Structure 1
Amino acid sequence: MKIGIPKEIKNNENRVGMTPAGVFELIKNNHTVYVQSTAGEGSGFFDADYESVGATILPTIQDVYAESDMIVKVKEPIEEEYDLIKPNQVLFTYFHFASSEALTLAMLKSNAVCIAYETVEDEEGTLPLLTPMSEVAGRMAIQQGAKYLEKPIKGKGILLGGVPGVPPGKVLILGAGVVGIQAAKMAAGLGAHVTILDVNMKRLRYVNDIMPSHVITEFSSEYNIRKHIKTHDLIVGGVLIKGAKAPKLITRDMLKDMHPGAVIVDVAVDQGGCIETTKPTTHEDPTYIIDDVVHYCVANMPGAVPYTSTVALTNVTLPYILKLANKGWEVACDEDKLLAKGLNIVKGTCVLEEIEEAFGWNVSC
């Protein structure tokens, strides 16, 4: 199979779809790999690194799409790429269709096969291709939140860990999934007081078992959320419903109850956000303020640490890429029902119910 790795063109997206080590494995399996020139430089991988393992470097993104049977990316195609996608071409990347009707309609029109990293499952029902980026984003949420709590950038002026004689900052985490647990680890490590909310008691028991005593678990309800936002300095939104829009757990009217200079980091922004006032931002312009509350809603947070993110992503995607390349998408998905859960759009048809629900479509796409 001919596999293409284009350069990401989303704002400040420095990750790349595959490391040279991953490309080496594909070429060892007798596949042809096309890499767009400079595609890996943002992650610390250079054209010579890819050429040394047998990849062919192509000068433009148009060339990569034109030559490839399967495109391996990090982020969803953006508008400039829509017309480059060929009918029957396989796209394997993060799509998060539920957050963008325009993207969904464009991929339907393309007649391509869209396999989304974020809906592939494993035997335990978890999302193995989303997990590493959720781990990165969860940890980054605390780094960024701590930074934006600083007064020069309109924050409350709180040091999360406090100092002797001064109490630590308070962090509220919505969701005890991968993002929430990683955020809690980072915040607890800094010495912050952490409260983590979820509706899944099994997850809360797990958090209670593994976290230090200054990480408090509570059942998630509107009452508890309204109570805690009045006293917490940093709120991390880490709620995920596979393939669907995130629920709005903090509404616009709740912001008035928060302290001026409090910070919201909504990691769920890719799925529409779990804060009503969330709107996607970029690393170039990451924050905005509503009712004196700082919002950090960057839709590709791991793109700021591209080396770590690219290596972590390739570690988990490579076995699936090899399976798709070796067997073709139809056989691979027929034999592996958990990989088949990654199928979101197939040649002009939605095959994931959550997409239809997100846009109120009550008939087949």
Structure 2
Amino acid sequence: MIIKSIGFPRIKNFGGDIRDFLPSLFRYLKKFKDVEVYVENTYGEGFGLTEEDYLAENPNIKFVPSDEVYKKDLIVILKMPELEELEKLRDGCCLFTMCHYPTRPANVELFMRKNIKTFSMDGIVDDYGKRIFVDYFRTAFNGSKIAFDELKKSMRDDFYSPARRPINVTVIGVGAVAQNCAKSFEILGDEEFLGKNIPGVAIRLLPRTITYSDELMIPILKETDILVDASKREDISKCIIKNELLGYLPGHAIILDITADRYDEGQVKPIEGTVVGSLSKMVIYPDDELYDTIPENIDSRNRRTVVSCDAWPGVTPRESILHYESLIKNYFEILLAKDTDELEKDSDNYFERALYRGTLEYFLEERAEKAK
């Protein structure tokens, strides 16, 4: 498909999450003379912006209702819409968003049924498999700071005691998110304790060769003050930390849910019995009503304060949007200049190769290959 129109819908049903692009991106889009730009009414309202702010940068923008936006050739939105919104997509159109193929099977079914050409931002990787359309540090730091602040409250006077042991942060995972969590806690620990003769933060990243064993995990959990889920699982039907093990955490411990996986058909959370937060409720205490939403077959008897959010970059939305704006231009140069059906996996263009790896076609090919 040659893209002749782009639609920018607003995010709905994600309490408080602001992911609308700023007027500066639409100024950039003026260079594509043959592409019409459609924006949903009230776009940018979360940032206090008006239609006039956008039109000042690109007078060719057309503000229209949501249903009309979803009928365009290419739909661009930073967060995956809910299924009812996705049903509005015109059959055969293109969608550029965070598709999360491995953990959203119902969405994948819809894409196939409606013949949607998808480009998943979270599936865009370089030639070595490293994600490049991502804001790892802001995701990690935003969650780490909130968890650290909650630990201050739960430890009370002991938090600043020179006599206590170091604060132990245990991170499940060793990938880029986990590494950025480690850096975040180093920064936070230095800000609080450096030069004050107070023990700082000891950070431990756990690979699968440790987390597989309850026997190995129990002594670690007994000394853990903040337990972080920064994992990436091959099998989403199995948890990594069983709920019964959470009983070994100190009573003041905080669980930081960076991954923020949902309970879904065939999917459980990596730390069994924890809940998913949102921008409107990022701190969930053990008696919170959110626990009533956990499926009945999930053990949630052992609870600690959980810090979780399904939209971590949204904690600092303007900074996040500017970061993603700088990234997305590289892919617009491909999507708006070439037939989307002719993208090449082995292209000489670095960004075209990366974009191809974000397609559903590529994901299904890779999954079939691994299943052999």
TM range (shorter): 0.7 to 0.9
Report how far residue 303 of structure 1 moved.
1.6
Report how far residue 107 of structure 1 moved.
2.6
* In 2, Cα distance between equivalents of 1:355 and 1:39: 39
* In 2, Cα distance between equivalents of 1:27 and 1:333: 26
Q: Structure 2: state its 5+ residue gaps.
A: 190-199, 263-267, 287-299
1:303 aligns with 2:314: yes
Alpha carbons of structure 1 residues 354 and 44: separation in structure 2 relative to 1, 3 Å: farther
- 1:65-93 deviation per Cα after TM superposition (whole angstroms, max 9, x unaligned): 12x21011111120330221111111111
Q: Is the 8 A contact 2:211 2:240 kept in 1?
A: no
1:264-283 equivalences under 5 Å are 264-270=255-261, 273-283=269-279
Alpha carbons of structure 1 residues 107 and 13: separation in structure 2 relative to 1, 3 Å: farther
1:221-236 equivalences under 5 Å are 222=213, 223-236=215-228
* AA of the residue aligned to 2:341: E
Residue matched to 1:127: 131
Aligned length in residues: 331
- 1:213-257 deviation per Cα after TM superposition (whole angstroms, max 9, x unaligned): xxxxx9665354332211111111112358x74963211121111
* In 1, Cα distance between equivalents of 2:128 and 2:237: 22
Q: Secondary structure at the match of 1:295?
A: strand
1:25 aligns with 2:28: yes
TM-score by length of 1: 0.79
Q: Structure 1: state its 5+ residue gaps.
A: 201-217
Report the structure number with the largest CA radius of gyration.
2
Report how far residue 323 of structure 1 moved.
0.8
Alpha carbons of structure 1 residues 344 and 234: separation in structure 2 relative to 1, 3 Å: same
1:149 aligns with 2:154: no
- 1:174-196 deviation per Cα after TM superposition (whole angstroms, max 9, x unaligned): 22322222221221122242323
Report how far residue 37 of structure 1 moved.
2.6
Q: Secondary structure at the match of 1:4?
A: strand
Identity %: 21
Residue matched to 2:174: 176
Residue matched to 2:18: 15
- Provide the aligned C-alpha RMSD in A: 3.1
1:52-71 equivalences under 5 Å are 52-54=56-58, 55-66=60-71, 68-71=72-75
* In 2, Cα distance between equivalents of 1:158 and 1:57: 57
TM-score by length of 2: 0.78
* In 1, Cα distance between equivalents of 2:30 and 2:20: 15
Alpha carbons of structure 1 residues 123 and 316: separation in structure 2 relative to 1, 3 Å: same
Residue matched to 1:254: 245
- 1:269-302 deviation per Cα after TM superposition (whole angstroms, max 9, x unaligned): 2476431224433222332535231223321121
Aligned partner (choices 313, 327, 334) of residue 323 of structure 1: 334
